[in-house]
Amino acid sequence: MLTLLLIIPILGVLALSQGPMQEESQMKKLALFVTLLNFVVSLVLWRKFDSNSSQYQFTGSHVFRVDGLSLYFVLLTTFTMPICILASWENVKHHLKYFLIAFLMIETFLIAFFVVLDLLLFYVFFESVLIPLFLVVGIWGARTRIRARFLLFLYTLFGSLFMLLAFLVIIYNVGSSDLQMISLADLSFESQKILWLAIFLSFAIKTPLIPFHLWLIRAHVEAPVAGSMVLAGLILKLAVYGFLRILIPLLPEATSYFSPLVQTIAVITLVYSSLTTLRQTDFKCLVAYSSIAHMSVVVAGIFSNTVQGIEGGILLSIAHGFVSPALFILVGGVLYDAFHTRVIRYYRGLTSYMPIFSVFFLLFTFANAGTPMTRNWVGEFLGLTGVFQRSPMVGLLMSTGIVFSAAYSIWLFNRICFGTYSPYLTATKDVSRREFMILLTLLIPTIVFGLWPNIILNDLHYSVSTLLYAS
């Protein structure tokens, strides 16, 4: 089953690259079919997953396996990729074949990263995702895409070098790169602290946490809409998964020692990014900074050392993978394609001509603000509950994010949709049928899993409990 998930996108790449030159519509249909087929396979894997076990499952390979921690990141990847293809259906005007190949390779690398159980391969796939993403931002990005892609490359590569050195030290001392073998090794506390700091630096850049966030803003703004969706929906989850798979189980004493430091950084990141979000005039910048604020809540929950906090962090991370891409489609896709400007002050009164757009924008704005009956609310509530159990003061400070997210989300909606129609804009059509179906596809699970979060939580309980109490 896991082998199929890895092979299907590669077969799609071979069909696109080695076949005869095809019409653009044929290439897009082929890429969409491949990603949809992979999503169906992942649904079968989800259906066969045993939620009453904390053990690795689908163990046909010694290197690739799935447990409760990795299952929903795999599902998020296979769910997001066909939406990325559909979101770019009419936007990519040149080198379409290579654009589609890049996204199929990103899907392969991401799935491999989320299911691999070898430390060296973990690093290889962690870095491999950077290559096609670098090309997507650099080739199909906006005006200053060259600067954006080099910031993306240099920031992430800088931190990864320290992680590679830490991994090599661990493998040298343990004599194996198998994660299960390493988790049984007895590393001294002093060694754990040094290794933990080296690995955490890489994940802090990828999250990103303050002050390692500048690459993300530039990459989001200059990337095409599908690139922004992958960045927000999937790439930011690499660090979350790294915390769960590497730092907590392999270096548990150092994780407990540095947890107050991490939560302090999360509070600073939340407050700084939220205040910065309030003053943005570019709506893609605004959504990008809001992603940083939400990811700080995820990090605080994961390092709360509680079951509720970790489960809330995972749930909020997955919820963010639905809502943030939807917001990028709305502002970076629908609005930018119609009016070709990202400056918020040029927009006003869009409800007059775009009522369906306004309804979707309102619903995803509420979800982004963590309104009850959405999955974001369940994730934030559980995450903040875990943080409060660990430290009431940190929990109180992190709770300010609820007010901040409501302020910048609703203010953005108010400025764009309400009031008299802007004199700077011409009359335009509402969302297309394709955009409507994409947004509806993202909205339905956001509400369904918000009303019935136990669908996900039941698969997380055993794995999270094992992670916390067996470390």
Cβ of 204: how many Cβ atoms within 10 Å? 22
- Region 18-43: mean pLDDT is 85
User: At residue 157, does pLDDT exceed 60?
Assistant: yes
Number of neighbouring beta carbons within 10 Å of residue 436: 14
Lowest mean pLDDT across 66-75, 121-130, 415-424 = 415-424
Q: In angstroms, rounded to a whole number, what is the distance separating the alpha carbons of residues 132 and 194?
A: 32
Q: What is the pLDDT of residue 144?
A: 60
Structure tokens at 436: 């409507």
Greater model confidence, 138 or 5? 5
* Mean pLDDT, residues 37-43 taken together: 94
Query: What is the residue-averaged pLDDT of the chain?
Result: 88
Asked whether residue 19 carries a pLDDT value surpassing 70, the answer given is: no
pLDDT of residue 262: 94
What pLDDT is recorded for position 429?
84
Residue 60 has a pLDDT of 63
| Greatest Cα pair distance in the chain | 68
- Domain-wise residue ranges, the chain: 2-470
Per-residue confidence (pLDDT) for residue 168, from 0 to 100: 93
- What distance, in Å, lies between the first and last C-alpha atoms of the chain? 29
Q: How confident is the model at residue 177 (pLDDT cuts 50, 70, 90)?
A: confident
The whole-angstrom separation of Cα 310 and Cα 301 is: 5
pLDDT in tens, 419-437: 888 888 887 788 989 999 9
d(Cα 456, Cα 471) in Å, to the nearest integer? 23
Residue 460 one-letter amino acid: L
Cβ contact 119:176 at 8 Å: no
Residues 6+ apart with CB under 8 A from 29: none
Q: Average of pLDDT values for 329-338?
A: 88
pLDDT digits (tens, 9 = 90+) for 250-290: 999 999 999 999 999 999 999 999 999 888 888 888 988 99
Reported confidence tier of residue 142, pLDDT bands at 50, 70, 90: low
